[in-house]
Amino acid sequence: MDIQQLNPEQRTAVMTDAQYVLVLAGAGSGKTKVLTTRMAWLMEQGIVSPGGILAVTFTNKAAKEMLTRISSLLPINTRAMWVGTFHGLCNRLLRAHYRDAGLPQSFQILDIQDQLSAIKRLLKFHNVDTDKYPPKDIQNFINGSKERGLRPDDIIPHDPFEARSVELYALYQNQCDKEGVVDFAELLLRAFELLKNNALIREHYQRRFKHILIDEFQDTNDLQYKWLRLLAGQHNAMFAVGDDDQSIYAFRGANVGNMRAYEQDYAKGNIIRLEQNYRSYNHILDSANALISHNTERLGKNLWTDRGDGELLRINELSDDRTEAQWIVDEAKSLIRDGIDYQQIAVLYRSNAQSRAIEHAFFSVGLPYRVYGGLRFFERQEIKHVLAYLRLIHNLDDDTSFLRVVNFPARGIGARTLENLTDAATQIGCSLALGIGALKGAPATKLAEFVGLIKRLSDMAKILSLPDLIQQIMHDAGIEQFYKGERDGEERLENLQELVNAAQVFCSEESFEGRSAAELVSLSASEDQAFPEQTSALAMFLSHASLEAGDNQAKHGENAVQLMTIHAAKGLEFDVVFVAGLEQGLFPHRNSLVADDGLEEERRLMYVAITRARERLYLSAAHERMLYGQTEYTTRSQFLDEIPEEHTKWLSPKLKESGFTRSEFAFRQGAGRATNEPKRQSAMFAGMSGGVQVGAQLFKVGQRVAHAKFGEGMIINLVGQGAEAQAQIVFQNVGVKTLALGVAKLEIL
DNA sequence: GTCGGCTGGCTTTTT
DNA sequence: GCCAGCCGAC
């Protein structure tokens, strides 16, 4: 380990002896290097033993990366260190202390899909009107409450909807407790309550974890911050690393405010800024700096590099989304001709819907591309089916899993039968599997056969290895047979074989730096003598499957251009980056304008996008875009105008201002946009000639109007006549809206 | 029990 | 415009 190769700020951070530190780590400033070097340094200096370190991240990928880098810095046994995600570490705590946490030893983890189906089942059972109380809304309410650390009793409802939601939350929690299942938010809340309510356990861990290090601190939610403070107690050191300018997850509960709170209450102004960037050139960094300076409430930071100015940002306004996609592909092609690697080119966009047009363009030209996002491995239905069998083998009372596979593959157990079974089980107060005894007749026989199958498999589980057990399930439950007869069964069978392989890897010792994946999620490390517990490979594999849904793309390391949302690109870097769809209403997204702080979060997102690029950055906007089956007329994103001109090179003529550019463009040129098909023009400018008379008002294309809610705008199209007439109006902030002139109260300016 | 047609919704997403 | 999820028909 060479401390000398760090820059002065990095070195200060690595070697600080302050109890509370906040490291403001800009994009590309060596954040992970600082975190891992600090851990290695603390251990090398004998300041703390590996067992005294707790390092927490948000993703499994980041946790693994950290462990790999520590191992390369120091020849130590990383097993004793608690390095993992919030959820992984909480799982570890709860497994070790399941009794004190009030959980069965075999508790299972519900992912969002499982949780939603559990909620649907609950709502159905209690005859809740799902039009008034959509399962998704209830799910959000429950998760939101838990993420703020609230139990049903802690919530004071403000309206009837909330009152009912609280009741349903309580019922849901009962159901989970009975079935021995725990959702993601519950992992954190339980672990927090365990530490809070049990002094013995709390003090044990407080004594143990002398150094707590937190990655991506700006992404923590309220509960996670509370959990960290509890664990830190009075005496332990906290080393929080984050970047408030890259906080883009407020919509899922992240609270940037935690950074400021921590700085004021703990670090007391002890901020170390890492501002030297090792990734990009100055035109890119200065653009990012200038853009983000439009935000208020920042902790403040300015990226710089000694690599020089580099290239100007290339900005292009195009006529429509298809042309934009075509241009990106053409550019990418010439970059590749110049020797850039495919995977060093990324196309980033605000929303997944944008990928279609871009994919299409890549596909037609035959350029290899890879789209990130979509279903992950452990979320596939065939995988979840087999996992449900495994869960039932592990815990027969898991009703969610029971219902998932009791009739998969079909074995003649219908909805009727299951309703009767649910009623019987509720009456007795037992799980579905146990409730079968109360039923009679043919359905009961079929159910008993199913439970018999599970029990047989459970017996085999005691002697078979995990991969063999999975094979056995696929065969005995008829899953193999079923998919052999299916249309797309071949691929599903391949995925199931992949599951067998995953189990094999999981069980093998070699999987990760001499430390198996099983150990990564395992209970207390062996040196944690205070609370030793033993768990089966099956239990650990099930935790693993829930906590790590698998990478979206890890297996496809092929040479291809990378397509993904900006959110997905956080933490990544590429030689060349395209950011597509820079239009008002799309990016910044229209929905963000109504949310508190929404525009600032969008700007942070743009900041993330810009700082992904090492060498070259392209930004593009389209004047017309197909959205929800309709052509939207758009205006350039305000973000493009927030980047100083000296850093940019416009590939298209730059129109005077954003906001009204599109309509001015259209109006000035009449129907004369060179690149567009004539058939749409006629419809578009149908009302142009004479305008539309509605009451006393005469509306014309190009006219400026004001709307009570949307503000000022300009009419860009009129369709229909009289009271029926509709106008498309481009508003300065919300983009294009189609309004009925007879209804909308417009003021002509 | 399964298939097909219809309706509604539609920003971002890790664990 | 597209996809998912739900309901109704066979």
Residue A669 lies inside a defined structural domain of this protein:
no
Task: Please tell me whether residues A350 and A491 are part of one structural domain.
Answer: no
Helix axes A31-44, A60-73, angle to 10 degrees: 50
What 8-state DSSP symbol labels residue A304? B
Determine the number of helices (DSSP H) and then strands (DSSP E) in chain A.
29, 23
Q: In A 605-644, which Cβ lie closer than 7 Å to strand C?
A: 626, 628-629
- What is the distance in angstroms measured between the alpha-carbon CA of A90 and the sugar C1' of B8? 39
C1'-nearest nucleotide to the CA of A588: B11
Query: Strand B footprint at Cβ < 7 Å?
Result: A 58-61, 85, 87-88, 111-112, 184, 248-249, 251-252, 350-353, 373, 407, 410, 412-415, 547-549, 552, 564-565, 567-568, 589, 591-592, 595, 598, 602, 628-629
Residue linked to tokens 């290339």:
A314
Q: Count the neighbouring beta carbons within 10 Å of the beta carbon of residue A637.
A: 23
What 8-state DSSP symbol labels residue A688? T
Contact status, residue A301 vs residue A273, Cβ threshold 8 Å? yes
- What is the distance in angstroms measured between the alpha-carbon CA of A113 and the sugar C1' of B8? 20
Q: Which of A258, A276, A294 is the last residue of a domain?
A: A276
Contact status, residue A206 vs residue A236, Cβ threshold 8 Å? yes
> What pLDDT was estimated at residue A655?
63
Task: Please tell me whether residues A492 and A456 are part of one structural domain.
Answer: yes
Residue A127 lies inside a defined structural domain of this protein:
yes
Q: How many residues does chain A have?
A: 749
Task: Please tell me whether residues A132 and A239 are part of one structural domain.
Answer: no
Task: Please tell me whether residues A69 and A216 are part of one structural domain.
Answer: yes
When pLDDT is cut at 50, 70 and 90, the band that residue A307 belongs to is very high
What 8-state DSSP symbol labels residue A653? P
Half-sphere exposure of A473 (CA within 13 A, CB side): 31
Give the CATH number for residue A393.
Answer: 1.10.486.10
Residue A302 lies inside a defined structural domain of this protein:
no
- Which of A193, A215, A324, A624 is an active site residue? A215
The DSSP bridge pattern shows strands A746-748 and A704-707 to be: antiparallel
Give the CATH number for residue A584.
Answer: 3.40.50.300
pLDDT tens-digit map of A467-506: 999 999 999 998 988 888 777 788 888 889 999 988 988 8
Residue A671 lies inside a defined structural domain of this protein:
no
Residue A686 lies inside a defined structural domain of this protein:
no
Question: Taking the model in full, what pTM does it have?
Answer: 0.84
Half-sphere exposure of A503 (CA within 13 A, CB side): 23
Task: Please tell me whether residues A197 and A245 are part of one structural domain.
Answer: yes
- What is the distance in angstroms measured between the alpha-carbon CA of A671 and the sugar C1' of B10? 31
CA A712 vs. chain centroid, Å, equals: 35
How would you class A126 by CB atoms within 10 Å of its CB: exposed for 0-12, middle for 13-18, buried for 19 or more?
exposed
What 8-state DSSP symbol labels residue A142? H
Task: Please tell me whether residues A267 and A320 are part of one structural domain.
Answer: no
Contact status, residue A268 vs residue A24, Cβ threshold 8 Å? no
- What is the distance in angstroms measured between the alpha-carbon CA of A113 and the sugar C1' of B3? 24
Is the Cβ atom of A116 within 7 Å of strand C at any atom? no
Q: Which of A588, A620, A650 is the last residue of a domain?
A: A650
pLDDT tens-digit map of A577-636: 999 999 998 999 988 887 778 999 999 999 999 999 999 999 999 999 988 888 888 889
Examine the residue annotation and report whether A584 is marked as an active-site residue of this protein. Answer: no
C1'-nearest nucleotide to the CA of A252: B13
- Positive/negative CA dihedral, A607, A613, A617, A623: negative
Task: Please tell me whether residues A741 and A599 are part of one structural domain.
Answer: no
Q: Which of A625, A650, A675 is the last residue of a domain?
A: A650
Residues 6 or more apart in contact with residue A586 via CB below 8 angstroms? A350, A351, A354, A625, A627, A634, A637, A735
Examine the residue annotation and report whether A32 is marked as an active-site residue of this protein. Answer: yes
Examine the residue annotation and report whether A354 is marked as an active-site residue of this protein. Answer: no
> What pLDDT was estimated at residue A466?
92
Examine the residue annotation and report whether A641 is marked as an active-site residue of this protein. Answer: no
Full domain range(s) for residue A226: 8-99+188-276
Residue A493 lies inside a defined structural domain of this protein:
yes
Task: Please tell me whether residues A395 and A469 are part of one structural domain.
Answer: yes
Residue A677 lies inside a defined structural domain of this protein:
no
Examine the residue annotation and report whether A359 is marked as an active-site residue of this protein. Answer: no
Contact status, residue A241 vs residue A23, Cβ threshold 8 Å? yes
Give the CATH number for residue A151.
Answer: 1.10.10.160
pLDDT tens-digit map of A86-118: 999 999 999 999 999 999 988 999 988 889 988
Task: Please tell me whether residues A537 and A394 are part of one structural domain.
Answer: yes
Q: Residue A525 pLDDT > 80, yes or no? A: no
Task: Please tell me whether residues A47 and A149 are part of one structural domain.
Answer: no
Give the CATH number for residue A696.
Answer: 2.30.30.390
How many structural domains are present in chain A? Answer: 5
> What pLDDT was estimated at residue A439?
84
- What is the distance in angstroms measured between the alpha-carbon CA of A84 and the sugar C1' of B7? 44
Residue A699 lies inside a defined structural domain of this protein:
yes
Task: Please tell me whether residues A320 and A349 are part of one structural domain.
Answer: yes
pLDDT tens-digit map of A557-591: 578 999 999 999 999 999 999 999 999 989 999 88
Question: Angle A51-A54-A59 (CA atoms, 0-180°, nearest 5)?
Answer: 130
Task: Please tell me whether residues A219 and A156 are part of one structural domain.
Answer: no
Helix axes A184-197, A222-232, angle to 10 degrees: 30
C1'-nearest nucleotide to the CA of A629: C1
Q: Count the neighbouring beta carbons within 10 Å of the beta carbon of residue A651.
A: 16
DSSP string, A436-503: GGG--HHHHHHHHHHHHHHHHHHHHHTTS-HHHHHHHHHHHTTHHHHHHTSTTHHHHHHHHHHHHHHH
